[in-house]
Amino acid sequence: MGKMRTHRKSWALALGVFLAAGSAGATRQYRGGAVATAHPMASEAALKMLNKGGNAVDAAVAAAFTLAVVGPYHSGLGGGGFALVHDAKTGETRALDFREVAPQAATRDMYVKDGKVVPGLSTDGALSVAVPGAVAGYLELLEKHGKLSRAVVLQPAIEAARAGFWVSPKYQAIAKARRDCLGQDPEAARIFLVKNAEGALEAPPIGHQLRQPDLARTLTTLAKSGPAPFYTGALAQAMVDTVKAGGGLITREDLKAYKTRTHAPMEGSYRGHRLLTMPPPSAGGVAVVQTLGVLEKLRPQGLAFRDPEEIHLYAETLRRAYVDRTKYLGDPAMVQIPLERLTSSGYLADLAGSIDPKKATPSVSLLPPGEDAGGSTLKKPDAGWYDPSTSSEKKNTTHVSVIDKDGNAVALTTTVNYGFGSCVVAKGTGILLNDQMDDFSARPGVPNAYGLVGYEANSIAPGKVPLSSMSPTLVFSKEDPKKVMLAVGSPGGSTIPTTVIQVISNVVDQGMDVTRAVGEGRVHHQYLPDELWVDQWGLEAATLKALEAKGHKLRRLPAWGDAEAVYSDPRTNLRSAASDPRNEGTALGQD
């Protein structure tokens, strides 16, 4: 408490000095709407919609379609995702789930042979593809909540596909990491790779202009006809033919039966701010609500900045939240989830009470009772143990945050899962298909591409939605619980919820502006592996030592996540936005 006061005072002092010294480089503030996305062309598309009189939904959908063109390594028409949409007029928030579902022919052990998970089968190629939801989701958002026409909103994406975009360092890095996978599919190789002088396939050079005429045609069809061609027409047939030829399972019936789902947003609160986030099939929202709830109980006055005692509590809370994920979470349409209990004040108090402030709880002691598979997981059984330091370039996802001038807000996270998804492109359409099947637990206790371990709740079944970490989140003003103050989200697989939690804490506990909140170093724990991950800007050496002394096993990693956030100041009603400095995005707004 005393520490908090001192901390607050020194922060106020620092802020005063900063302001007195002039605010060169300060976060720009906008009177109009603002947007943050992972690619400049997507942010420009969103801003264009706002400038045409569109609302936050028009802007977010234009950005999402553009990202499908310029960021094929993270999202696309063949993927799926979640969106929170807040309507300032009615004060209502909708959680739209357009995540992929398992095809009807999917089976529990489809990736297991001779009792072992076959490496690559759930991440590379046609068998890894789940029925895509992005097209249904984006177009439903537009139809139900947008103001502009499909033709206007899809125009920037069509233009980007036709004229092309230049290959960035990030594109190149992920294309390099996925070169072999892309090389397996002649259509994907033709579009996303180039041939070198020896005729071998490789990632295109930085600056190479990458055009996608097939995708431009597909987008034009969607602009004209809506989602029907994708789910029941010629595009559906192309996807089915390609997937079938590659040994995958998706049929015309699967596509025809695809439906988005609307959920009540998951509600929580943090230090007087109402939070709305994504409920299951996202496990992310539950972790956000639980972790912030426990931290508030443990430190009612706020968290001191980068204090080892506080980082310890944060890590221990995450460890417990990820245990609950492992035990309970899956597709809510197929699994009974004790959601109310898991987020109730009493339960959060129990979690808080189970934390030893002096030392780390070994994850092995928290394994679900009777789960021998979990125990053997720690002995690294058959699928190869997860090594975050070698897998960082292969994965992706993307997030769009928008708050418009009227206070409407969208937080939309969307993905094809791994970098370039399954690496399969439906012939002649430019549609790159996801590998979202990997988000199921292929076998109880065996970690997936993000090191996440799941059990029965997240096992594969026909028509089931795989559990996700994606956590689009809206934080509301203290003064007006219907007014959005912060829209935030990130990629990063298992690290998504913790990135979101840290951005929120940086704003609420530390009073940081949105640029600083997004740029701060990150710390992550996910129960298994039993390691505390610290990014290169994460913590000072003395703090690391103090954490080690408490029994945490530390792992330094370069960087993860790509937080995209928009802040609307409840007092001034000015907006500011930030795109993660770790990546290549941009934040833009209207003067």
Q: Which residues bind ligand DON (CB under 6 A)?
A: 395-397, 415, 417, 436, 439, 468-470, 491-493, 496
AA identity, residue 420: F
Whether 448 has a binding-site annotation, put simply, is: no
Tokens of 92: 């209502």
Closest by Cα among 531, 383, 527 to 444: 383
Q: SS3 sequence, 411-479?
A: EEEEECCECCCCCEEECCCCEEECCHHHHCECCCCCCCCCCCCCCHHHECCCCCCCCECCCCEEEECCC
Specify the residue, 396 or 429, whose C-beta has the smaller distance to ligand DON: 396
Q: Is the distance from CB of 413 to CB of 491 less than 8 angstroms?
A: yes
Strand stretches in 199-332, DSSP E: 201-202, 209-210, 261-263, 266-270, 273-277
Q: 10 Å Cβ neighbour count for 229?
A: 19
Residue 376 assigned ligand-binding role: no
Number of Cα atoms under 13 Å in the Cβ half of residue 219 = 30
Min dist. Cβ of residue 99 to ligand DON (A):
7
CB 69 within 8 A of CB 215: yes
Nearest to ligand DON of 55, 468 (CB atom): 468
> For ligand DON, which is the closer residue by CB, 43 or 282?
282
CA distance 136 to 131: 11
Nearer CB in complex with ligand DON: 170/299: 170
Residue type, 430: G
Which residues have a Cβ under 8 Å from the Cβ of 379 and sit 6 or more positions away?
none
The secondary element (H helix, E strand) that includes residue 403 is: strand 398-403
Q: What is the DSSP letter of 580?
A: -
Min dist CB 223 to ligand DON, Å, is 27
326 carries a ligand binding annotation:
no
Q: Is 416 annotated as a binding residue?
A: yes
Q: Catalytic residue among 218, 397, 473, 586, which?
A: 397
- Which is it for the CA torsion 385, 388, 389, 394, positive or negative? positive
Residue 541 contacts residue 564 (beta carbons within 8 Å) = no
Nearest to 282 by CA among 559, 59, 500, 525: 500
Measured distance CA(447)–CA(391) in Å, rounded: 13
The two structure tokens encoding residue 88:
């300032």
Beta bridge partners of 240: none
Residue closer to ligand DON by CB (options 436, 568) is 436
What is the total residue count of the chain?
A: 591
Closest approach, Cβ 159 to ligand DON, in A, equals 27
Tell me how far, at minimum, the Cβ of 494 lies from ligand DON, in Å: 7
Q: How far is the CB of 463 from ligand DON (least distance, A)?
A: 18
The token duo for 202 is 């490789």
CA-to-CA dists, residue 171 to 64, 166, 240, 374, 584, angstroms: 17, 9, 27, 36, 10
Nearer to ligand DON, 97 or 309 (CB): 97
Of the pair 125, 229, the CB lying nearest ligand DON is at 125
From the list 499, 506, 507, the residue with the least C-alpha distance to 533 is: 499
Q: How far is the CB of 366 from ligand DON (least distance, A)?
A: 22
Q: Which is nearer to ligand DON, 417 or 477 (CB)?
A: 417
Q: Is the dihedral of CA 145, 147, 151, 156 positive or negative?
A: negative
Q: How far apart are the first and last CA of the chain?
A: 40
CB of 14 to ligand DON, least distance (A): 33
Closer residue to ligand DON in complex, CB, 265/589: 265
**417 is known to lie in a ligand binding site:** yes
We find the least distance from the C-beta atom of residue 290 to ligand DON, in angstroms, to be 17
Q: At what angle do helices 56-70 and 150-163 cross, to 10 degrees?
A: 20
415 is in an annotated binding site: yes
Strands 165-166 and 209-210, by their bridges, are antiparallel
23 is in an annotated binding site: no
- 397 an active-site residue? yes
Q: Is 164 annotated as a binding residue?
A: no
Shortest CB 493 distance to ligand DON, Å:
4
Annotated binding site: 99, 415-417, 439, 468-469, 493
Residues acting as catalytic residues? 397
Annotated binding site for L-glutamate: 99, 415-417, 439, 468-469, 493
